[in-house]
Structure 1
Amino acid sequence: MKTTFKQEVVYQLLHWLEGNIHTPLSINDFVEKSGYSKWHLQRIFKEVTGQKLASYCRQRRLTSSAFMLRLFDKQIDSVGSEHGFSSHNVYHKTFKRHFNVTPAQYRDALHWSCKGLCPPINLTTQPVPEGRLVELDAMTLRGRVTDYAFTQDTICHFCWDKREALWRQRLAEAAAHPGALYGLSNVIKGGPRADDCATLQYLACFHPDAGGTETPLVEIAVEKQTYLHFSFNGEAQQFADFIKLIYEHALPTAGAVRRDGYDIERIDPQRFSASRSGRIDYYVPVLV
């Protein structure tokens, strides 16, 4: 569908906001960026998005700070100031009023409640994945661990290409062709270098009966529990956005509480190929 000039202006501002979410921004900054008067800008933003500009910006800053608290090893005051809050008290009070817990309580909770997170307006052509509750039986998997240290700017770089290299390496080690290959991922705060904020731990693995004697391998016992199940069936370049849409849109919209543990990818070895496409069942552990 062809966008109108007003929509194009608003979409450009939304892109600009997401790219500057860690910069203190005021309505005047948007006015200067757009070239519209304050009154006219706020009117067309509401017309196009259905939301008030100031309220949307505040909720997106709070949401971005919440993600940073959960994923990265950073001081609370630093997170608040990076998102434009003028003092510890202002950030603390605003955060608690919105999420009903303090920033410290939110950061330190064992499980991650996605309630109150404000999804960014979806500017991609991909629809938001729809999840359904399923229960996976307990299973034991054997795999190889890869640690990927990342910062705020490189969080999306561990996508299809890096995963596929690990999948193919693991398949080459199997004595028997496995019916399914699994990818387990979880984020650990901190990293080996001073500027690393977090580490993504990824395991490419399958059931022990697939054999293979290569070392070092680790054995993971996955308990029987409930997951939100999402299905990916598309091109390689869409996979990073698929995961991003799950965490930024699907989980907050569902008001889900992500359980501590691994996300599970179930990959059909027959369905990913040199064509750089494939089918993946993606499971996020949740509390119900």
Structure 2
Amino acid sequence: MKEIHSLRENIINELLFWIEENLESNLSLDNISKKVGYSKWHLQRVFKSMTGTSLGEYCRRRRLSKTALLLRLTKKDIYEIAMQYGFDSQQTFTRAFRQNFKITPYAYRRAEYFDMQGLLPPYYFEAQTLAKPTIVTLEPTSLFGEQNLVKCAVENGECFSHEFRTQLIASTLSLVGVTPPRFYGLVDYSHYNESEPHYKVGYRVAFERDLLPFFTKNCEKVVIEQGKYARFTYTGDVTGFKAFVSKIYLIALPKEHLIRRRGVDVEIHTPIFNDIDLDYFNCQYLVPIE
């Protein structure tokens, strides 16, 4: 029996990855059952028993979760988003979106707060562990650093990527010449342009004045806003940082019923090794919350 369960788990796990890669395609039960080699009836029964969610409901909510991120992180036309994810009209999309998020796509895009309660993260059998955040209140903090805009594709999760971080951190620290005992990464998701298909993330490597040996001519003063933040801790290989930030937004914040307010995410890096080799991150990650 254990062998049968393990085989089913492997099949469903592979199917989940395949669904994630094909959310913009025709995910009918006929197409999915052909992919797996199960009958539609048997596939639905096994999927529900293994995940606790019906196959159709899972696909529907994953698509809607993708559209929600596009609405908040891009200026892509609502009609284009609806067509991209297989809705036959904007009206059909609006009805489905309202049913899931209790708000229209238009209102969701323009809401002051990013409420993630309706988001469904991809369900994998891999461990999705993430420590419960600590809620802290930060006082206003003045920092200095240069703003960089990084082009990202929201659909591929590039807005949570570690790659642009390591590149910008390495280039900034190389200019400074030393690895300070503490530095900051400020992530700004508020940059967008209606005429561009890609989203741009603002990322600033910043220092407190007494930790910065010198300032470049492009350094600007920036103040971390006072307020409440959900604080998470990451210590590990840099390649796992993207998944870490993704889990914060898609799993931890909804699970804790936290609503993200406007403002920048704050990374507080405290390097363990006294060099510019950034294969290993040791940092606190703070998300502004209501």
Per the normalisation by structure 2, the TM-score is 0.90
User: Equivalents in 1 of 2:278, 2:115: separation in Å?
Assistant: 37
For 2:148, the equivalent position in structure 1 comes to 146
**Where do 5+ consecutive residues of structure 2 fail to align?**
none
* Counterparts in 2 of 1:215 and 1:270: CA distance versus 1, 3 Å: farther
Residue identity matched to 1:18 = E
1:278 equivalent to 2:281? Answer: yes
Contact 2:73 / 2:192 at 8 angstroms: preserved in 1?
A: no
User: Equivalents in 2 of 1:158, 1:109: separation in Å?
Assistant: 22
Q: Secondary structure of the equivalent of 1:12?
A: helix
1:200 equivalent to 2:201? Answer: yes
User: Equivalents in 2 of 1:222, 1:162: separation in Å?
Assistant: 21
Matches within 5 A, 1:83-122: 83-122=85-124
Deviations 1:158-181 (A, max 9, x none): 743432332234334459874410
CA RMSD in angstroms, aligned pairs only:
2.4
User: Equivalents in 1 of 2:161, 2:109: separation in Å?
Assistant: 25
User: Equivalents in 2 of 1:63, 1:83: separation in Å?
Assistant: 11
Contact 2:16 / 2:124 at 8 angstroms: preserved in 1?
A: no
1:58 equivalent to 2:60? Answer: yes
Contact 1:132 / 1:228 at 8 angstroms: preserved in 2?
A: yes
Q: Pick the aligned partner of 2:233 from 224, 231, 238.
A: 231
For 1:168, the equivalent position in structure 2 comes to 170
Deviations 1:243-280 (A, max 9, x none): 11111211222222111110000000335753721311
* Counterparts in 2 of 1:112 and 1:12: CA distance versus 1, 3 Å: same
Q: Secondary structure of the equivalent of 2:66?
A: helix
User: Equivalents in 2 of 1:246, 1:131: separation in Å?
Assistant: 9
Contact 1:159 / 1:240 at 8 angstroms: preserved in 2?
A: yes
Residue identity matched to 2:280 = S
User: Equivalents in 1 of 2:177, 2:278: separation in Å?
Assistant: 25
For 2:211, the equivalent position in structure 1 comes to 210
Tell me by how many angstroms 1:191 deviates: 5.1
Aligned residues: 286
1:76 equivalent to 2:78? Answer: yes
Q: Percent identity?
A: 29
Contact 2:160 / 2:245 at 8 angstroms: preserved in 1?
A: no
Q: Secondary structure of the equivalent of 1:245?
A: helix
For 2:253, the equivalent position in structure 1 comes to 251
Residue identity matched to 1:76 = I
Residue identity matched to 1:237 = T
* Counterparts in 2 of 1:202 and 1:62: CA distance versus 1, 3 Å: same
Q: Which moved more, 1:182-191 or 1:201-210?
A: 182-191
Matches within 5 A, 1:122-141: 122-125=124-127, 127-141=129-143
Contact 1:129 / 1:242 at 8 angstroms: preserved in 2?
A: no
User: Equivalents in 2 of 1:202, 1:172: separation in Å?
Assistant: 17
Q: Which moved more, 1:226-235 or 1:212-221?
A: 212-221
Contact 1:271 / 1:279 at 8 angstroms: preserved in 2?
A: no
* Counterparts in 2 of 1:85 and 1:200: CA distance versus 1, 3 Å: same
User: Equivalents in 2 of 1:164, 1:46: separation in Å?
Assistant: 40
User: Equivalents in 1 of 2:42, 2:88: separation in Å?
Assistant: 28
User: Equivalents in 2 of 1:286, 1:149: separation in Å?
Assistant: 25
Deviations 1:61-94 (A, max 9, x none): 1111111111112111111121111111111111
Dislocated runs of 4+, deviation >6 Å: none
For 1:180, the equivalent position in structure 2 comes to 182
User: Equivalents in 1 of 2:202, 2:174: separation in Å?
Assistant: 21
Residue identity matched to 1:99 = F
Residue identity matched to 1:62 = L
Q: Secondary structure of the equivalent of 2:121?
A: coil
* Counterparts in 2 of 1:166 and 1:15: CA distance versus 1, 3 Å: same
